[in-house]
Structure 1
Amino acid sequence: MPEPDDAARLRELEKRLAERRAAAEPETSHSESGHGQAQLAWRMVIELVSGLGIGFGIGYGLDALFGTEPFLMIVFIFLGLAAGIKTMMRSAEEVRQRQAAEAAQDDGGADGD
């Protein structure tokens, strides 16, 4: 007769473990989501600033080389800004596609249960 008692205890243990796992999941995903959003924001800022910096450097170098003081620097700053914005938009689209894929995967997982 010890077998039914052991089976009941095992079922009770599995039930408690499942409850604890379910309670712990939202906290972990919320924390990771916050870090992911901050990381994405910093990535976008760095992309924009680096585009501006590279544009400034190229324009300044060409101005020094050709002797056309502010002209090429201004042109390349705007080109660097455009490149930085384009890179930011590409990053945002990448994140949007990843979130859509995760949402589709979550929906598929819910339908399969």
Structure 2
Amino acid sequence: MSDPDDHSTAADRLKALETRIAAAKGEERKPHSEEHYSQANMAWRMVIELVAGLGIGFGIGYGLDILFNTTPIFMVLFIFFGLAAGVKTMMRSAAEMQNEALAKQADKGEED
């Protein structure tokens, strides 16, 4: 039969081997597919922000037109305001993404 010490030594050697393999691999990198989905999520976020701005502008303008019984002048006006607000929000999201990318590059530069 085998000694219990042989099992503990084998387990220790196995842990040491796993530790060395993990150290040799370095940091785990994200697969390219996860990065792709992250960018797709940001793109959808920007599209939704634009459409939400247009929708809210349309709703406010339509409501004012109904309230004041006017031609669709408020609807057209507030659609443009909603478009401007949506574009402004999209630009802010794009700047946020750019700042995150620059921060990641700066962190990589400090590690090297």
Output the TM-score relative to the length of structure 1.
0.77
| Higher Rg | 2
Q: 1:38 aligns with which of 37, 40, 55?
A: 40
Give me the whole-angstrom Cα distance separating, in 2, the residues matched to 1:32 and 1:103.
18
Taking only aligned residues, the RMSD between alpha carbons, in angstroms, comes to 2.2
Equivalent residue letter for 2:106: A
Give me the whole-angstrom Cα distance separating, in 2, the residues matched to 1:61 and 1:103.
48
Output the TM-score relative to the length of structure 2.
0.78
Moved over 3 A (4+): 14-19
Q: 2:21 aligns with which of 9, 16, 22?
A: 16
Q: Which runs of 5+ in 1 are unaligned?
A: 1-5
Equivalent in the alignment of 1:100: 102
Aligned residues: 99
Q: 2:63 aligns with which of 53, 61, 70?
A: 61
Q: Which runs of 5+ in 2 are unaligned?
A: 1-9
Structure that is richer in helix per residue: 1
Give me the whole-angstrom Cα distance separating, in 2, the residues matched to 1:29 and 1:98.
19
